[in-house]
Amino acid sequence: MWNYSDKVMDHFLHPRNVGEIEKPDGSGEVGNITCGDALRLTFKLDADGRIDDIKFKTFGCGSAIASSSILTEMAKGKTIEEALKITNQDIADALGGMPEEKMHCSVMGMEALQAAIANFRGEAVKEHDETDHQGRVVCHCFGVTDAKIRKLAKENNLKTLAQITNYCKAGGACGRCHAEIQEILDGVWKPKEEAGAVSAPKALTLVQKVMKVNEVIDQEIRPRLEADGGSIELVDLVGDTVQVRLKGRCAVCPTSHLTLKNLVEDKLRELVAAELLVEEVK
Active site (catalytic) residues: 35, 105
Residue 96 Rama label (left phi>0; alpha psi -120 to 50; beta)? left
Q: What's the CA gap between 159 and 149, in Å, rounded?
A: 11
Q: Dihedral through CA 191, CA 194, CA 199, CA 204, nearest 10?
A: 0
DSSP string, 211-231: HHHHHHIIIIIHHHHHTTTEE
Length of the chain: 282
* Secondary structure letter of residue 34 according to DSSP: G
Residue 122 Rama label (left phi>0; alpha psi -120 to 50; beta)? left
Is the CB of residue 164 less than 8 Å from the CB of residue 152? yes
Q: 247 phi and psi, to 5 degrees?
A: -135, 165
Q: What's the CA gap between 222 and 215, in Å, rounded?
A: 10
Q: Dihedral through CA 100, CA 161, CA 221, CA 224, nearest 10?
A: -110
